[in-house]
Structure 1
Amino acid sequence: MSGTNSDSTVERAFAAALHDGGDLDTGASLLAADPSADAELALRGREFVRRAWERGWQPADVLRMVVRGEGLDAAHERLAARLIRTETERYENLPPRWSAQLAELPAQGPARTDRFSDATTALELYRLLARLPAIEPVGPVPGESITVPVAGEPRALAKIRALLAKAERTGYPPEAEALSAKAQELMARHSVDEALLASRTHAKDAPTACRIGVDAPYETAKAVLLDAVATANRCRAVWNSAFGFSTVVGFEPDLEVVEVLHTSLLVQATAAMTRAEAEQRAGGRKRTKTFRQSFLAAYAHRIGDRLAAVAEQVTGSVGEALPVLAARDVAVTGRAEEMFPATVTTRVRGVTDGAGWAEGTEAAQRARLDG
């Protein structure tokens, strides 16, 4: 420490507010009374963000914890986003997927003019960041040696994205039904093609991982949906309910498909559930929560069956790929067990609405699986 007055003010504020049972009002009062401490306070915030990355957290993970934090609001989200942006600007190259996460950060909103409120927001956010535990990393942090991804993406994945965008816009189920079989085949063949290419070129390919948010409400059913998509695409998903995300382990081309497909299916499921629920309400039913939980659980179950059937059909027709795919399955399982040596199976609870289950199954049968 430099020993300046601003350093001293920040140290005293942190000592008062950041420990268990700390006094936020005292800490905020110290900071509010000393404008010269503002720069040091912002620098400390960026240090907290950097430490979170070194503990395995990524920008989207950090922001998700802020959103889920008890008593935190939009002001805390904006401050966290500003600290994340400022810290990442120091690095020329960022790890894969970070640019997309940064693009989704909330925009800068109106600043408060009350110094005490601003200081309180900062201390509440810093207290949360300081308490983030170490988690299993899913990639390098900024500053570490990384391989910069090649611009662009495979044509198959680009086509998948375009088809999914159309699927999310259409309100005509027969259209989705007509394209479903070919789209599912495209998804599975993309995985097979990438595996064969890596084998033939003797690429030093190894399983990696990414995190996908699983947000409330009905997060258990949503986690099951993600698990179904991951399993059908030769990946493994491990859900962390406390932190609101699943870690998906697999080879990079398969992870890309899982991300794209899961996002689209969740959009389609939500839209179908909203329509079905409106029909149920029109008929006089009001059990919204149980209906939605049962709907999403059935949707995930049926989607998993459909995806698995298509994957099996495609891989069975490409005999030369079977040894390669088997080896990749072993590698993915091994990496998942290495990252998560102790996991438990979670049951979907609250699936008690027969109408919700029936509607969810029917909606899953109509869904387009373009990814």
Structure 2
Amino acid sequence: MRSDRTYIRTDELHAEALLAELGDVYERGWQPADIVHLTARSGDETDVSLAALTVLFDARRTRAAERAPDDWLRQVRAIADRHPGLARIAALTPDLGTGLRRAYPEASRYQVDGLAFTWKYLPAFTRLDAPPSQWPPLRAPGADSAAPDPRVLERIRGLLSKAESTDFPDEAEALTAKAQELVTRYALGSALLTGTTRLADPVRGRRLHLDGPYIKEKVLLLTAIGDANRVRTVWFTRVQIATVVGTVSDLVQVELLFTSLLVQATRALGAAGTAGRRGGSATAFRRAFLTGYAKRVGERLREADARATASAASDAHVPVTSLAPILARRSEAVDTEFRRLFPTTRASRSRGIDADGFHAGRDAAESASLATRQPRIER
């Protein structure tokens, strides 16, 4: 009996050490989704589950539901949705040690210590939100209420879902373009209604976690979508995390479009095959295909944004030029925040690509999405 108590007490100490390291890494700028993403890159499935349970238990312990910023809370909820069993354990167990034993009785103390060790030596990362130690006792009502109307978001999700599922390229293109136009018109319409040249929409940073294959080409697609929506993108190669900076409504739109267009691009790539190539030549074709796809998508998104701007001006019975101050202020605010968050970045240089694959990708993008200039990745 005495040895059992010693074992449980030791487990509790290891679990508390894991929680302490999580708290420290939050102080250094990392967020819940970052932790699970990094653990997935360096550990096995059990490590991911241990990390998820620790994050969820810590969120309960720190009363994140009542105190955390919206984006932080969104990440915690997404982790809970992916791990519903662990979410139940985190909600019902009195301490993390008990939760770890209940969820993974086979997990060793060494595995818990290894996870804590990994977190301990994570470097500082750009802080996008206040860590739990700086949260207020109770979040102010409407503190992060700048996101688009939920009804608008639901319409966008519906349009993109149809674009992903349709077998008709022209229909997919029209649906995706409509989604691009919707939030543009919503944001501009809101500004016109308030009679101000400034959008009542704060500028924030948000992280997106990417996985291979063809990860650089996926970043090009994200950057193209961001450029068309006045959102800046910076890519951290070592941790495979992109940070997008823009107004809250634009960030929501960019993330929704990127998720959908990535599905559409993958489907188009599968349909295109490899033009009879094999090995490294086939890989080069696929990379070039996705690069061409990203460039053409950016161009089409910009066209849709221009149409939405003209339509918003027409609805308000004002000249399009009257919207220029709104768009200029928004771009200026985004650039200012981007420079504050990332004072030292460099543009990524494009490498040589397969011409056949590039043009095949551009042709495929004609059947999926929208418009901007040559994507530019900043690091």
What are structure 1's unaligned runs of at least 5 residues? Answer: 1-5, 7-32
**Distance (Å, rounded) in 1 between the aligned partners of 2:299 and 2:15:** 50
Match of residue 207, structure 1, among 199, 203, 210 = 203
TM superposition shift of 1:293: 1.0
Give the letter aligned to residue 84 of structure 1.
Answer: V
Check whether the contact 1:290–1:350 (CA below 8 A) recurs between aligned residues.
Answer: no
SS of residue paired to 1:209: strand
Tell whether 2:45 aligns with 1:60: no
Check whether the contact 1:233–1:258 (CA below 8 A) recurs between aligned residues.
Answer: yes
**Distance (Å, rounded) in 1 between the aligned partners of 2:10 and 2:247:** 47
Check whether the contact 1:236–1:336 (CA below 8 A) recurs between aligned residues.
Answer: yes
Tell whether 2:137 aligns with 1:137: no
CA spacing shift, 1:178–1:333, aligned 2, 3 Å:
closer
Q: How does 1:147-186 map to 2 (within 5 A)?
A: 147=140, 148-149=143-144, 153-186=149-182
TM-score by length of 1: 0.80
TM superposition shift of 1:306: 1.2
**Distance (Å, rounded) in 1 between the aligned partners of 2:277 and 2:205:** 46
Check whether the contact 2:163–2:172 (CA below 8 A) recurs between aligned residues.
Answer: yes
**Distance (Å, rounded) in 2 between the aligned partners of 1:298 and 1:309:** 17
Check whether the contact 1:224–1:297 (CA below 8 A) recurs between aligned residues.
Answer: yes
TM superposition shift of 1:141: 2.6
What are structure 2's unaligned runs of at least 5 residues? Answer: 87-101, 314-319, 372-379
SS of residue paired to 2:67: coil
Identity across matched positions, percent: 37
Q: How does 1:258-297 map to 2 (within 5 A)?
A: 258-277=254-273, 280=274, 283=276, 285=278, 287-297=281-291
Check whether the contact 1:55–1:135 (CA below 8 A) recurs between aligned residues.
Answer: yes
CA spacing shift, 1:73–1:98, aligned 2, 3 Å:
same
Tell whether 2:46 aligns with 1:75: yes
1:69-119 C-alpha deviation (Å, 9 max, x unpaired): 2xx2111101100100000002133321334322333535895555xx512
CA spacing shift, 1:203–1:171, aligned 2, 3 Å:
closer
Q: How many residues align?
A: 332
1:126-154 C-alpha deviation (Å, 9 max, x unpaired): 11110111111112233513445459934
**Distance (Å, rounded) in 1 between the aligned partners of 2:105 and 2:221:** 44
Match of residue 37, structure 1, among 5, 10, 30 = 10
Q: Which residue of 1 aligns with 2:299?
A: 305
Tell whether 2:108 aligns with 1:118: yes
Check whether the contact 2:187–2:199 (CA below 8 A) recurs between aligned residues.
Answer: no
SS of residue paired to 2:115: helix
